Chain A
């Protein structure tokens, strides 16, 4: 067992165990903090996959923006009801059945997917070792995926407009206690 495998196993454990703990923890603050641990390990995993730019983006956007937003909302909505309930999951049989069907289908189709792996071919005949990862991502983004890049900008603008709209709705809500 060499160092690559050790690092991979550590990162895999550091992603799955906080994921499970985030899903089963009663306190939402603990759940969000466990997801933070998951995301930091995942950033390291992206680094071992050879993409330092995505590591930086992952830490800045996920850990810096999205999870802080989650924590802010959790602190704003201070509901401690769930910690007092004995059963804090939905007891829905249909959900469990759907999970089992979905996991079964995933494990059935994963062998088909893995059979496709030797057929992976680069879409464009560039040698990735010629330049840094960031150079290639920028080149792809601003040439081949320019339309998608602009569409992401439009989507984020729509999100901002939607948040402002919801905020206007909030001011119309009566009987506001805080």
Chain B
């Protein structure tokens, strides 16, 4: 059986990839895609925990996570469409009005 650590490191790697995307990309859509990658890292981690502790709770958490990811994508993308229609901009530097 594969050691549990492998799943933890895979999840960590995916989370870091998503974090780099969120922190460094300009495009708002790719930012939301990177958020989805971070959610996927959590899904891998929770299902591995559930498998290795012989408990179904992690699978239920994954179920909730998938539903929440769908909700987040809906709200985020509708905000992106609103922003694009009203300002014609979807790059983060162009809409950064409140730079401190």
Q: A interface vs B, CB < 8 Å?
A: 4-5, 8, 12, 15-16, 19-20, 22-23, 28, 31-32, 35, 38-39, 42, 45-46, 49-51, 53-54, 57-58, 61-62, 65-66, 69-70, 73-74, 76-77, 79, 81-82, 88-90, 92, 95-96, 98-99, 102-103, 106-107, 110, 113-114, 117, 120-124, 126, 128, 133, 136-137, 139-141, 145, 148, 152, 155-156, 158-160, 162-163, 166-167, 169-170, 173, 176
Which of chain A's residues have a CB closer than 8 A to the CB of B75? 159, 162-163
Pick the residue among A32, A76, A155 that contacts B33 (CB under 8 A). A32
Q: Which 7 A-B pairs have the closest CB atoms?
A: A120-B53, A95-B23, A23-B21, A122-B55, A136-B56, A19-B17, A89-B24
Given A155-B71, A163-B74, residue A51 in contact with residue B17 (CB < 8 A): no
Mind listing 15 A-B residue pairs with CB under 8 Å? A16-B13, A23-B34, A51-B51, A54-B47, A54-B62, A62-B36, A66-B73, A69-B74, A73-B29, A90-B24, A103-B19, A117-B4, A122-B53, A170-B85, A173-B86
- Asked, given contacts A66-B73, A137-B59, A141-B60, whether A173 binds B20 with beta carbons under 8 Å apart, the answer is no
Instruction: Report the Cα distance A51→B56, complex, angstroms.
Output: 10
Contacts of A133 in B (CB 8 A): 56, 59
Q: Is there an interface contact between A90 and B37, defined as CB atoms closer than 8 Å?
A: no
Specify the main secondary structure of chain A where it touches its partner. Answer: helix
Taking a contact as CB atoms under 8 Å apart, the answer to whether B33 and A69 are in contact is no
Which A residues are CB-close (under 8 A) to B24? 89-90, 92, 95-96, 99
- Report how many residues on chain B are interfacial, defined by Cβ distance under 8 Å: 71
- Contact present for B23 and A61 (CB under 8 Å): no
Given contacts A23-B20, A88-B26, A159-B74, A79 and B90 within 8 Å (CB-CB): yes
Name the contact of A128 in the complex, choosing from B18, B56, B60 (C-beta under 8 A). Answer: B56
Residues on B with beta carbons closer than 8 Å to the beta carbon of A148? 64
In the docked arrangement, what's the CA distance between A136 and B63, Å? Answer: 13
- Tell me if B54 and A82 are in contact (CB < 8 A): no
Do B12 and A124 have beta carbons less than 8 Å apart? Answer: no
Return chain B residues, CB-CB under 8 Å to A114. 4-5, 8
